Chains A and B, each alone.
Chain A
Amino acid sequence: MDSILPGVLNCINEGIVIITEDLEITYWNPFMEKLSGKWSGEVLGQKVDQILPSLCRPFFYSAVKRLATVGNPVFFSAAMHRKLVSQDHRVNLKMNRVSVDGKVALLLEFIDVTNQFQRISQLRDYVSQLSHLNSQLKQKEKVIEKLAYYDKLTGVANRALFDKFADKYLSIAKQRGTMLGFMFVDVNEFKLINDTYGHNTGDKVMTRVASLLTESTRKNDIVCRYGGDEFLVLLPDIRTYKDYQAIAERIETNKKQCIVQDGYNICLSLSIGISFYPDDGATLDDLIAKADEYMYVNKHESRERQDNM
């Protein structure tokens, strides 16, 4: 049996080193030659801490002392000890005590885990790439959502988002028995503003109107650009007409101020029509049509007032 043991140790794919209690190397297998780049002939009889200078540290000496006296095994990980045998290999080191005929030898097993490190490093790179791609996708999703649901010029909701919320709010109003307001807003003489000050200024005025409506309404109200110069405002959870009046008064106050845009003094005039669920209809089409109708009445009245003035 004894005669085959050296042959077995020579075949093992682990660096096997046997040392005495005072660190002298008595065996150095071929795999250890490969790991360290040092031939058995040049290291036998030498001190292991001289051949592997990374072991020239207090923790190694106290581990050897404890192992030799108490005999409990020791483990040094490749992660904590980066260059145990060479620059190119990452190895775990296991140390055990072997006692034969009253003589104590220390068995050092150097287990090559370089491939593990490479594989984990590759996986971390993939995870990092995936995480980067994921955050890019999330950003793009946000952009797509913005394009799909928000008006490019004014930044307020578009019809698609309005339809989504109008359906939802109408169902809630029906369940809870609350009112739902639809406010149709039209910028009077917008064509004249475009013709007089140019389309660029006209676009900016449209954006100012959208801001005016957003500032005058509540947090949960939805301001939507419905068409060229038309806005629809969805007013959920209206409990009494006073709730609506408060909003209408804020719009009225804000719109009376003439605005300065691109150096021009432009006086805004808005026509507003409002319909309420359930008084003016039970479907979205009915309620929007009614608000539109009231808006045209308001527009007509304001034209008449202007003509009379």
Chain B
Amino acid sequence: MLVADKISREDILTELFNIGVGQAASTLSDIIDKRIGLTIPNVRILDAATGKIELDKYLLQVAEGAVMVSSISFDSQLEGKVSLLFPADKMHHFIDLCLHENRDDLVDNLEFTDIDFDTIKEIGNIVINSIIGELSNTVNIPVEYTLPEIDVLNNASADHFVNCEDCRLVLMMFLAFNIEGTEIAGAVVINMTLKSLDEILNEIDRLYNGR
């Protein structure tokens, strides 16, 4: 595979995912009645080892390595696991912004209630639907999955997210949420099988490059 080809495929994926998260931003704006910005600056296709190094770099920047994670495993024709990560210490403020609440006493606290988890489950569902759904629609390959599982992990490492034996590749992207001037930087990690990614890339080549 030529380097130029790879860059071009990553650019196409970036474009695709941005269309998806654009729709997610519009849905969330409608739900919470606030203007929301949601962008993915770039998508990188990495082998599992490099993906882990890059992800660990992100986790090092997160306070105490504590992240709130929405994750789903998907199967059918495409197989893998997608995780949406947010710095846990920013989540109370983020949730408060979404719920039009203001609880100063809870800011930076790492304790979450079922209500907080449900809020993130909904946001995770919308964002992951937008990313995977757009990809699945564009390449016309069906994907099946359930609602996301939500968890808070302390001292999280990349092994938590890139751990499937058959999944040798990682699609890694950063996600910038902007609600009323407050920016929250998340990360999206899609760990998938080589076969799945090959299918996606071949379809992209066929659709965009006429190959």
A interface residues, Cβ below 8 angstroms from B: 57-59, 62-63, 66, 70-81, 92, 94, 113, 116-117, 120, 124, 127-128, 131
Interface of chain A: mostly helix, strand, loop or mixed: mixed
Q: Provided the pairs A57-B30, A80-B98 are in contact, do residues A74 and B125 lie with their beta carbons within 8 angstroms?
A: yes
**The one of B113, B122, B142 that contacts A120, using a Cβ cutoff of 8 Å:** B113
Q: For chain B residues 90-143, which have a beta carbon within 8 Å of chain A?
A: 95, 98-99, 103, 105, 113-116, 118-119, 121-122, 125, 129, 132-133, 136-137, 142-143
Q: Which chain B residues lie closer than 8 Å to A72 at the CB level?
A: 129, 132-133, 143-145
Asked if B7 is at the interface (CB within 8 A of a chain A CB), the reply is no
For residue B131, give the distance in angstroms from its CB to the closest CB of chain A.
Answer: 12
Closest to B30 in A: A59
Q: Which chain B residues lie closer than 8 Å to A92 at the CB level?
A: 118
Measured between alpha carbons, how far is A231 from B208 in the docked complex, in Å? 90
Interface of chain B: mostly helix, strand, loop or mixed: helix
Measured between alpha carbons, how far is A127 from B121 in the docked complex, in Å? 25
On whether the beta carbons of A77 and B129 are closer than 8 Å, the reply is: no
On whether the beta carbons of A75 and B122 are closer than 8 Å, the reply is: yes
Closest to B128 in A: A72
Q: Which chain A residues lie closer than 8 Å to B132 at the CB level?
A: 72
Listed A/B pairs (23) with beta-carbon separation below 8 Å: A57-B30, A63-B27, A66-B133, A70-B142, A72-B144, A73-B125, A73-B147, A74-B125, A75-B147, A77-B121, A78-B115, A78-B118, A79-B95, A80-B98, A113-B114, A113-B115, A116-B113, A116-B114, A116-B115, A117-B115, A124-B103, A127-B105, A131-B105
For residue B58, give the distance in angstroms from its CB to the closest CB of chain A.
Answer: 26
Beyond known contacts A79-B99, A80-B98: 8 more, CB 8 A cutoff: A72-B132, A73-B145, A77-B119, A79-B115, A79-B116, A79-B119, A113-B114, A116-B114
Q: Which chain B residues lie closer than 8 Å to A94 at the CB level?
A: 147
Q: Which chain A residues lie closer than 8 Å to B114 at the CB level?
A: 113, 116, 120
For residue B152, give the distance in angstroms from its CB to the closest CB of chain A.
Answer: 16
For residue B139, give the distance in angstroms from its CB to the closest CB of chain A.
Answer: 13
Measured between alpha carbons, how far is A285 from B136 in the docked complex, in Å? 87
Asked if B146 is at the interface (CB within 8 A of a chain A CB), the reply is yes
Q: Which chain A residues lie closer than 8 Å to B147 at the CB level?
A: 73, 75, 94
Q: Which chain B residues lie closer than 8 Å to A63 at the CB level?
A: 27
Q: Provided the pairs A120-B115, A127-B105 are in contact, do residues A81 and B133 lie with their beta carbons within 8 angstroms?
A: no
Q: Which chain B residues lie closer than 8 Å to A124 at the CB level?
A: 103
Measured between alpha carbons, how far is A73 from B129 in the docked complex, in Å? 9
Q: Provided the pairs A77-B122, A80-B99, A116-B115 are in contact, do residues A58 and B30 lie with their beta carbons within 8 angstroms?
A: yes
Asked if B4 is at the interface (CB within 8 A of a chain A CB), the reply is no
On whether the beta carbons of A62 and B27 are closer than 8 Å, the reply is: yes
Q: Which chain A residues lie closer than 8 Å to B146 at the CB level?
A: 73
Closest to A71 in B: B144
Asked if B2 is at the interface (CB within 8 A of a chain A CB), the reply is no
